[in-house]
Amino acid sequence: DAGVTQSPTHLIKTRGQQVTLRCSPKSGHDTVSWYQQALGQGPQFIFQYYEEEERQRGNFPDRFSGHQFPNYSSELNVNALLLGDSALYLCASISGQEAFFGQGTRLTVV
Amino acid sequence: AQSVSQHNHHVILSEAASLELGCNYSYGGTVNLFWYVQYPGQHLQLLLKYFSGDPLVKGIKGFEAEFIKSKFSFNLRKPSVQWSDTAEYFCAVHMDSNYQLIWGAGTKLIIKP
């Protein structure tokens, strides 16, 4: 059990729609990172949240936004979905320099 | 640009064979290095990590890795693989004060029983 929970596990959306993915980090972890993993590739950093603020952002367009709540859980929002947004979205619960991952949300855009 | 490269995308071995998976990164500053494993249907799990000290680090399930700073490499090794080692292996690097992990593309390892 990773201790990091993500929901939903699978999602199918239509181009142009908006989606919200959710993550609960491990107990006691106050930092969350989001990654996108396209098929056959390694994860790509989207952004990191700490103390409810976006602390660092990767090379993703503004269509990707996030939020962190006082209980450290986090959401990833993607607007105006494109076919190319189809991927596995991973949430990482951060402790020091270590990242603990959830099972991910498989997003398919049709 | 900072990057991580894994030399082989697919590796097929027989049980009891020795394993070495290559990982190189492009960055001249301070790094923290990781190998993660993803078994079929499971989440990414940490195999081992290097922050400082002895460049030969041991991880779970008999895996080890050696950091060679002069070669910008962090290769993963296991003397004798088992069928249960079938999985995808990812090398990841944390560079200086950057908060993100930069990942290789992964190596799919298949062990023939």
Q: DSSP string spanning A38-104?
A: -TTS--EEEEEEETTEEEEE-S--TTEEEEE-TTS-EEEEE-S--GGG-EEEEEEEEETTEEEE---
Instruction: Walk along chain B (113 residues) and give the pLDDT tens digit of each residue.
Output: 789 999 889 999 999 999 999 999 999 889 999 999 999 889 999 999 999 999 999 999 999 999 999 999 999 999 999 999 999 999 999 988 788 999 999 999 999 98
Domains (ranges, CATH) in chain B? 3-112 (2.60.40.10)
Q: Cβ separation of B94 and A97 shorter than 8 Å?
A: yes
Beta-strand pair A53-57/A44-50: antiparallel
Query: What is the predicted pLDDT for the residue at A76?
Result: 98
Cβ–Cβ pairs < 8 A, chains A and B = 53
For residue A41, pLDDT beyond 80: yes
For residue A103, pLDDT beyond 60: yes
Query: What is the predicted pLDDT for the residue at B28?
Result: 86
Do B78 and B14 touch, CB atoms closer than 8 A?
no
Q: Cβ separation of B43 and A101 shorter than 8 Å?
A: yes
Domains (ranges, CATH) in chain A? 5-109 (2.60.40.10)
Query: What is the predicted pLDDT for the residue at A2?
Result: 54
Q: Cβ separation of A42 and B42 shorter than 8 Å?
A: no
Query: In chain A, whose CA is at the least distance from the CA of B51?
Result: A97
Query: What is the predicted pLDDT for the residue at B108?
Result: 97
Which residues of chain B make contact with A44, given a CB cutoff of 8 A?
Answer: 103
Burial group, residue B7, by CB count within 10 angstroms (0-12, 13-18, 19+)? middle
A102 pLDDT tier (thresholds 50, 70, 90): very high
Which residues, in sequence order, are CB contacts of A9 under 8 Å at separation 6+?
A: A103, A104, A105, A106
Which residues of chain B make contact with A26, given a CB cutoff of 8 A?
Answer: none
- What the block records as the tokens of B19 is 């394993």
